[in-house]
């Protein structure tokens, strides 16, 4: 086989690969419909890097878009004072849980609850919703860790058991005489 034959083989292989790749465009990083909302939140974080509110809202938008890695990276690269804000840490705990790191998420939720308890006037930093949410999530995470589950999504049966154990209530029986 001469040079012309090899050229034809290489050209045919390249053409086959090109045709097999298709004409589909690249996929976006986030698969959410209101992409403009995420873009607006990203611009807000860029404009106010020390404000924890837009950082938390953007991280939550990433979590809602099923991109916990982006949320974690955003929070981990934020200034330390912003990262330590209890609401931001609470969002970070959710990202850790979604990444399959239940034990770290539990430690983060405990840190949120400790920060809320340590503040003189907890109302300015920690409202009742944050305390209730962090407490509930910490209870569920504690059950997950006790069952030896790091990744709740990989073990849905054990996660359901942990959720049931953490959220069940004790009820008194009504006795009718």
Q: Is the pLDDT of residue 88 over 90?
A: yes
Q: Where are the chain's structural domains?
A: 34-167
Question: Cβ distance 57 to 87 under 8 Å?
Answer: no
4 CB neighbour count, 10 Å cutoff: 8
Smallest CA-to-CA distance from 49 within 78, 80, 92 is with 78
CATH topology for 34-167 is 1.25.40
Q: How far apart are CA 44 and CA 50, in angstroms?
A: 11
Q: How far apart are CA 90 and CA 131, in angstroms?
A: 10
More confident residue, 37 or 106: 106
- Phi and psi at residue 73, to the nearest 5°: -60, -40
Per DSSP, the three-state class of 137 is helix
Question: The tokens of 38 are what?
Answer: 């995420």
Q: Specify the range with the lowest mean pLDDT, choosing from 18-27, 56-65, 141-150.
A: 18-27
Q: Is the pLDDT of residue 6 over 90?
A: no
Q: What is the pLDDT of residue 13?
A: 84
Per DSSP, the three-state class of 118 is helix
Please state at what angle helix 35-47 crosses helix 52-64, rounded to 10 degrees. Answer: 150
Q: If pLDDT is split at 50, 70 and 90, which confidence band does 1 have? A: low
Q: What is the pLDDT of residue 25?
A: 61
Q: Is the pLDDT of residue 15 over 60?
A: yes
Q: What is the pTM for the complete model shown? A: 0.75
- How far, in Å, are 40, 81, 103, 143 from residue 164 at the CA level? 38, 36, 19, 9
Q: If pLDDT is split at 50, 70 and 90, which confidence band does 80 have? A: very high
């Amino acid at each position: 086989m001469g040079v012309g034959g090899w050229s034809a083989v290489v050209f045919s292989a390249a053409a086959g690969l090109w045709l097999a790749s298709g004409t589909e465009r690249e996929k976006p990083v986030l698969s959410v419909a209101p992409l403009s909302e995420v873009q607006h939140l990203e611009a807000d974080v860029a404009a106010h890097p020390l404000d924890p509110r837009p950082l938390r809202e953007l991280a939550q938008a990433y979590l809602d878009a099923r991109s916990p890695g982006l949320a974690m990276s955003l929070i981990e690269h934020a200034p330390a004072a912003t990262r330590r804000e209890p609401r931001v840490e609470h969002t970070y705990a959710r990202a850790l849980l979604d990444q399959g790191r239940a034990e770290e998420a539990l430690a983060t939720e405990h840190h949120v609850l400790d920060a809320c308890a340590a503040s003189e006037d907890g109302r300015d930093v920690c409202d009742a919703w944050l305390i209730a949410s962090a407490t509930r999530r910490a209870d569920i995470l504690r059950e997950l860790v006790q069952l030896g589950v790091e990744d709740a999504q990989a073990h849905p049966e054990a996660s359901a058991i942990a959720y049931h154990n953490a959220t069940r209530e004790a009820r008194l029986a009504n006795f009718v005489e």
